[in-house]
Structure 1
Amino acid sequence: MAKELSDKIAVVTGGAAGLGRATVERLLEDGARVVIADLDPDLGESLANGYGPDVRFRRTDVADAEQVRGLVDFAVKEFGGLHLMVNNAGVSGAMHQHFLDEDFADFQRVLSVNLLGVMVGTQAAARHMAANGGGSIVNISSIGGIQAGASVPTYRASKAAVVHFTKGVAVDLAEYGIRVNCVAPGGIPTQLLASATAAGQEGDAEEMTRRIRAHMAAVQPLQRQGTPRDVAEAVAYLGGDRSLHTTGTVLTIDGGTTAGPKPLRA
Structure 2
Amino acid sequence: MSDELAGKVAVITGGASGLGEGLVRRFVAEGARVVFGDVDAEGGKALAEELGSAARFLVSDVTDLSQVAALVDTAVGDFGGLHVMVNNAGVSGTMHRRFLDDDLADFDSVLRVNLRAVMAGTRDAARHMADHGGGSIINLTSIGGIQAGGGVQTYRASKAAVIQFTKSVAIELAHYEIRVNAIAPGNIRTAIVRKSAAAEDRERLEEFEAKIRAQMRNDRPLKREGTVDDVAEAALYFATDKSRYVTGTILPIDGGTVAGKVIPRKS
- TM-score, normalized by the shorter chain, greater than 0.5: yes
1:205-220 to 2 correspondences below 5 Å:
205-220=205-220
Structure 2 Cα separation of the partners of residues 261 and 200 of structure 1: 31
Corresponding residue SS for 1:197: coil
> 1:142 is aligned with what amino acid?
S
Structure 2 Cα separation of the partners of residues 151 and 218 of structure 1: 17
Indicate the residue corresponding to 1:55 in structure 2. Answer: 55
Which has the higher mean CA deviation after the structures are superposed, 117-126 or 205-214?
205-214
1:1-266 to 2 correspondences below 5 Å:
3-199=3-199, 201=201, 204-266=204-266
Structure 2 Cα separation of the partners of residues 201 and 81 of structure 1: 46
> 1:244 is aligned with what amino acid?
R
Give the fraction of aligned pairs with identical amino acids, expressed as a percent: 56
> 1:98 is aligned with what amino acid?
R
Corresponding residue SS for 1:166: helix
The runs of at least 4 aligned residues of structure 1 exceeding 4 Å deviation read none
Alignment deviations for residues 42-66 of structure 1 (CA, whole Å, 9 cap, x no partner):
1111110110110000111111111
Distance 1:200 1:172, change over 3 A: farther
TM-score after normalising by structure 2: 0.97
Which has the higher mean CA deviation after the structures are superposed, 204-213 or 49-58?
204-213
Unpaired runs of at least 5, structure 2: none
Alignment deviations for residues 69-108 of structure 1 (CA, whole Å, 9 cap, x no partner):
1211111111111100000000001100000000111111
Distance 1:28 1:171, change over 3 A: same
Work out the number of aligned pairs and report it.
266
Corresponding residue SS for 1:139: strand
Structure 2 Cα separation of the partners of residues 201 and 43 of structure 1: 27
| 1:130 Cα offset (Å) | 0.3
| 1:198 Cα offset (Å) | 4.6
Corresponding residue SS for 1:190: coil
Corresponding residue SS for 2:148: coil
Alignment deviations for residues 11-40 of structure 1 (CA, whole Å, 9 cap, x no partner):
111101000011111111211000121001
> 2:186 is aligned with what amino acid?
G
For the 8 Å contact 1:198–1:205, the answer to whether it is kept is: no
Alignment deviations for residues 170-195 of structure 1 (CA, whole Å, 9 cap, x no partner):
00000101000000000000000111
| 1:265 Cα offset (Å) | 2.9
Alignment deviations for residues 217-247 of structure 1 (CA, whole Å, 9 cap, x no partner):
0120011100011000000000001000000
Structure 2 Cα separation of the partners of residues 79 and 45 of structure 1: 18
Structure 1 Cα separation of the partners of residues 237 and 9 of structure 2: 15
| 1:203 Cα offset (Å) | 5.4
Q: What is the RMSD computed on CA atoms of the aligned residues?
A: 1.3
Corresponding residue SS for 2:246: coil
Alignment deviations for residues 194-230 of structure 1 (CA, whole Å, 9 cap, x no partner):
1101546475232111101111001200111000110
For the 8 Å contact 1:83–1:135, the answer to whether it is kept is: yes
Distance 1:16 1:107, change over 3 A: same
Structure 2 Cα separation of the partners of residues 2 and 108 of structure 1: 42
Corresponding residue SS for 1:53: helix
| 1:260 Cα offset (Å) | 0.8
| 1:2 Cα offset (Å) | 6.3
Unpaired runs of at least 5, structure 1: none
> 2:219 is aligned with what amino acid?
V
For the 8 Å contact 2:36–2:71, the answer to whether it is kept is: no
For the 8 Å contact 1:97–1:201, the answer to whether it is kept is: no
